[in-house]
Amino acid sequence: MANVESPGPIVVGIDGSEAAKKAAEWAIREAIHQDVPLRLVHVIQRANVTSQPIETFALELEYAQGALRDASAMVEGAGMPVKCETAVLRGDIDSVLVTESSEASLICVGSVGIGQVARKLLGSTAAALAEHAHCPVAIIRHDEREPWRQNGFIVVEVADYAGNDDVMRWGMEEARVRSAPLLAVGLRRWTNFEIGYAGLYRRLDPWLRQYPDVQVEVAATRMSLARYLEGYRDTIQLVVIGSESAGNAPHLLGPHSPALVAHADCSVLIVRP
């Protein structure tokens, strides 16, 4: 799934929150599967740096180092064979993480969902990465009121665009890595993509042969993926979509169409070539 010539690390944005720690925990298996290190990154926002008292920067640095220590300890405590490195960087948070993504196999951030993203629909770090990252982006959902869902379906969209094979590959790999069933949803567009169940099975046949160990269920809908998944609340752990759908990510996570997060309560993986 990563660049086989020079695979980069799995980069995880760490800000000291529980959501970020869950993102790092989720990324452990990904790093092991791709045989790359985890790179835990904390970005100190560069706002009026020259006018900041030295004590302020010292406190920010101390916080950054503490957040990375806590996340590293969590990774080490998982007892899994993964190499972990850390970095404290300075700059605009969104820009720094987008730059990090240019050398990464995957970049991963935590999200508490609608309560946070809705207030900054287009300005959140998750939305910026969804639109501008140079590698696949995992936005890992965390809700302190509910236990972290590590079971349930991996959902993959089956649609009519050139990069959909990459989406299928990532979805199948995620299902295999996480020993999870996969739900393949055929999106039936009124205009240019009429795929019934027979066509959907034909489309899936080579993937079923390549991944015989993955349990696959199939559905087809004319609804949007977010609307369709309202009926699968509490049964989904991850939805895999393509970069062609990345422009919809803020709306999937925000107030204009909260169904994917508010009702399905799941994480999202946006696949880029």
Per cent of the chain over pLDDT 90 is 49
According to the CATH classification, is domain 10-140 in 3.30.420.40? no
State residue 225's pLDDT score.
80
Mean pLDDT of 199-206: 88
Q: What residues contact 80, with CB distance under 8 A and at least 6 apart?
A: 28, 29, 32
CATH of the structural domain 153-271, one choice from 3.40.50.12370, 3.30.360.10, 3.40.50.10470, 3.30.1360.120: 3.40.50.12370
Asked whether the beta carbons of 46 and 90 are under 8 A apart, the reply is: yes
Mean pLDDT of 167-189: 92
DSSP class of 213: T
- 59 sits in which H/E element: helix 54-77
Indicate the range of 3-17, 56-70, 232-246, 252-266 predicted with least confidence: 252-266
DSSP class of 8: -
Q: Is the pLDDT assigned to residue 171 strictly greater than 80?
A: yes
pLDDT tens, residue by residue, 43-94? 998 765 556 667 777 888 999 999 999 999 999 999 999 999 999 999 999 9
The tokens for 177 are 């890595």
The tokens for 96 are 């720094």
0.75 exceeded by pTM: yes
Q: Which residue has the higher pLDDT, 44 or 119?
A: 44
State residue 165's pLDDT score.
92
Q: Is the pLDDT assigned to residue 238 strictly greater than 60?
A: yes
117: nearest Cα among 265, 255, 271: 255
Mean pLDDT of 245-264: 50
Q: How confident is the model at residue 118 (pLDDT cuts 50, 70, 90)?
A: very low
State residue 68's pLDDT score.
96
SS3 assignment for 143-210? CCCCCCCCCCEEEEEECCCCCHHHHHHHHHHHHHHCCCCEEEEEECECCCECCCHHHHHHHHHHHHHH
Residues of the chain with CATH 3.40.50.12370: 10-140, 153-271
Q: How confident is the model at residue 148 (pLDDT cuts 50, 70, 90)?
A: low
Kindly list the strands in the beta sheet with 106-111, ordered across the sheet, starting from the edge strand earlier in the chain: 84-91, 38-45, 10-13, 106-111, 137-141, 267-271, 236-242, 153-158, 182-187, 216-221
Angle CA(72)–CA(77)–CA(78) in degrees, nearest 5? Answer: 105
